[in-house]
Each structure stands twice: as structure tokens, then as C-alpha cells.
């Protein structure tokens, strides 16, 4: 993807998930779209509570941004943690700007079902929106 810039104009992030860098081409400055941002890691923490334990997660990106979400599966923190471990391969490498695509893919292209799936979806979606801003 390329966009022409008027002389003296500034590059703004117009395309979500795409880092722009100026490129000179035939005397014109062109904004060249580099590779989209990617999620590079997922970490989670289980915090003890009175009625149940809370599971919080953090997504890391290749551009240094992070996002935080809450992925609690009431009464079964270990099941929620195991679900996040299993889903890690499905999450890492994704563009955090494609939130709806992630939700559709994890819902229709995996074998997970029920509360464990929805806990994953909720926590990761929160963290992705936290990254997007």
C-alpha cells in the first residue's frame, strides 16, 4: 500500500496496524506501509480473591505496546490458565488491530467451547482494544 504525500505534509498513522515510513520515489515522498504490528507474547497472572481467583493477561507487541485484559473463569482458575496456554499459539503472531477477525477465528476455527472459550475471547479482546487505543 502506498499513499502520496503533499510537500511539507506529515505522515500520520492512517491505516490501523501499519507502520508508515517515508520513501522517496521519482522525486515524490511516498508513505510506504511496513509490516503490520504483531502480538509477540501473552502472559497471565492469577490473583487470589475471596469468592474466586481472578486471571489477568497481558499481550505484548513487536512495536513495544502492551494491552491488559481480564480472563477469569469463575471457580476454576487452573482451567482458565490452561485454556490460555492452549490458545497462545492461536494468539501470538496476530495483528492486534484485527479484533473482530480474531473473535470470529477463535470461535469458528477452534475446538474450544463454553465458558473457557468465552473467557479467552473476553480477556484477549480487552487487551487488543487496550493496544489499539
> What pLDDT shows up at residue 12?
47
> What pLDDT shows up at residue 6?
55
Residue 55 CA to residue 68 CA, distance in Å, equals 11
Among 94, 85, 89, CA closest to 116: 85
Coil vs helix vs strand at 23: strand
- Structural domains of the chain in order of their starting residue, each with its CATH number: 2-36 (no CATH), 39-132 (3.30.390.10)
Residue 130 CA to residue 99 CA, distance in Å, equals 11
Q: What residues of the chain score a pLDDT lower than 50?
A: 1-2, 11-14
pTM above the 0.85 mark?
no
Residue 81 near residue 44, CB atoms below 8 Å: yes
Neighbours of 46 (CB within 10 A): 14
Q: In this predicted model, what pLDDT tens digit does every residue of 87-111 receive, in sequence order?
A: 998 999 999 999 999 999 999 888 8
Amino acid at each position: 500500500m502506498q499513499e502520496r504525500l503533499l510537500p511539507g505534509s506529515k505522515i500520520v498513522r492512517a491505516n490501523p496496524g501499519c507502520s508508515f515510513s517515508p520513501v522517496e520515489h521519482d522525486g515524490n515522498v511516498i508513505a510506504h506501509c511496513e509490516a503490520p504490528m504483531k502480538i509477540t507474547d501473552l502472559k497471565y497472572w492469577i490473583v487470589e480473591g475471596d469468592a474466586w481467583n481472578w486471571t489477568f493477561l497481558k499481550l505484548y507487541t513487536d512495536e513495544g505496546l502492551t494491552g491488559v485484559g481480564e480472563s477469569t473463569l469463575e471457580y476454576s482458575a487452573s482451567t482458565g490458565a490452561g485454556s490460555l496456554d492452549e490458545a497462545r499459539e492461536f494468539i501470538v503472531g496476530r495483528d492486534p488491530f484485527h479484533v473482530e477477525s480474531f473473535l470470529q477465528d477463535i470461535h469458528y476455527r477452534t475446538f474450544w467451547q463454553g465458558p473457557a472459550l468465552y473467557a479467552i475471547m473476553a480477556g484477549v479482546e480487552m487487551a487488543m482494544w487496550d493496544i489499539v487505543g
